[in-house]
């Protein structure tokens, strides 16, 4: 006897799906039967992942837009049709990458806006655009990728942590509003995940020692992988998770524990 999650007949929008975690989430949802709208701010990245999904026999279409631009978001969601599943994955500081890590007292206020624009307003924009069709259809799933930098609190990441914590609080409030419509809203909080953005240079002289220092707080001494995240997200957007809402699921290799 086998066990499978069936998302046949559902349409999913995954933001920031052109690489890394978003790519794997998009491919996993497609493998479960969902028709996936693949978003990325770089059209070529959205096209590439769409072609991967199609080549594997799944259903997908590219939907390039910038999550920080509400007009672009609403226009794109209107074009791709009713969305049943929204995964707010786009993060960091958008095309600017992660930026300089420093103590907050040394930070430049001009640098804060990019973190808030992507990680908080981007989540709000996409959720606002996707919710009406979910309410009308009486079913929906919203999952937002946040970070243990916000849930636990990591030094030198205060603006990023603030934006991710804001997205978590926003998700809890929306969960209370839309539960009566058959819509669940949850977050997945991540530790360090191996992606093209976070990958260390293999030939960096200080690489091995830096990696050991990075992983020392982790019970499972490796970086997370995108497929560690995709399985949890796929469960949360499935019918199996219909009685779970307003929660944060932690995927962090034991970096922190929570009750």
Residue 3 lies inside a defined structural domain of this protein: no
Q: How far apart are CA 81 and CA 84, in angstroms?
A: 10
Q: Count the domains in the chain.
A: 1
Residue 5 lies inside a defined structural domain of this protein: no
Q: How far apart are CA 1 and CA 111, in angstroms?
A: 53
pLDDT-derived band at 199, boundaries 50, 70, 90: low
Cβ burial of 33 (10 Å; 0-12, 13-18, 19+) is middle
Output the CA torsion 197→202→207→208 (10° steps): 120
Which tens digit of pLDDT belongs to each residue from 97-134? Answer: 667 789 999 999 999 999 999 999 999 999 999 999 99
Active site residue 160: yes
Q: Give the residue numbers spanning the domain of 101.
A: 11-251
Which one of 115, 121, 152, 160 is the catalytic residue?
160
The enclosing domain of 37 has a CATH number of 3.40.50.720
pLDDT-derived band at 94, boundaries 50, 70, 90: low
Query: Average of pLDDT values for 212-222?
Result: 88
Mean pLDDT of all residues in the chain?
Answer: 93
């Amino acid at each position: 006897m086998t066990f499978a999650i069936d998302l046949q007949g559902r349409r999913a929008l995954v933001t920031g799906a052109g690489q890394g975690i978003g790519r794997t989430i998009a491919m996993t949802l497609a493998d479960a039967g969902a028709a996936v709208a693949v978003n990325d701010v770089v059209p070529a990245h959205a096209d590439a992942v769409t072609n991967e999904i199609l080549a594997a026999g799944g259903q997908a279409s590219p939907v390039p837009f910038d999550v920080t631009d509400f007009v672009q978001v609403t226009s794109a969601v209107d074009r791709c049709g009713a969305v049943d599943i929204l995964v707010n994955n786009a993060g960091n500081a958008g095309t600017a990458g992660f930026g300089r890590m420093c103590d907050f007292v040394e930070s430049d206020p001009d640098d804060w806006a990019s973190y808030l624009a992507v990680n908080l307003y981007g989540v709000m924009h996409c959720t606002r655009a996707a919710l009406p069709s979910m309410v009308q259809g009486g079913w929906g799933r919203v999952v937002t990728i946040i970070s243990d930098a916000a849930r636990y609190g990591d030094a030198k990441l205060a603006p990023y942590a603030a934006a991710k914590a804001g997205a978590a609080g926003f998700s809890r409030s929306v969960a209370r509003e839309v539960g009566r419509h058959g819509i669940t809203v949850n977050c997945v909080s991540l530790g360090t995940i191996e992606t093209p953005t976070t990958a260390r240079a293999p030939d960096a002289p200080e690489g091995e020692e830096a990696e050991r220092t990075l992983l020392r707080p982790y019970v499972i001494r490796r970086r997370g992988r995108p497929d560690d995240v995709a399985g949890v997200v796929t469960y949360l957007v499935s019918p199996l998770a219909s009685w779970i809402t307003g929660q944060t699921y932690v995927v962090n290799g034991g970096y922190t524990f929570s009750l």
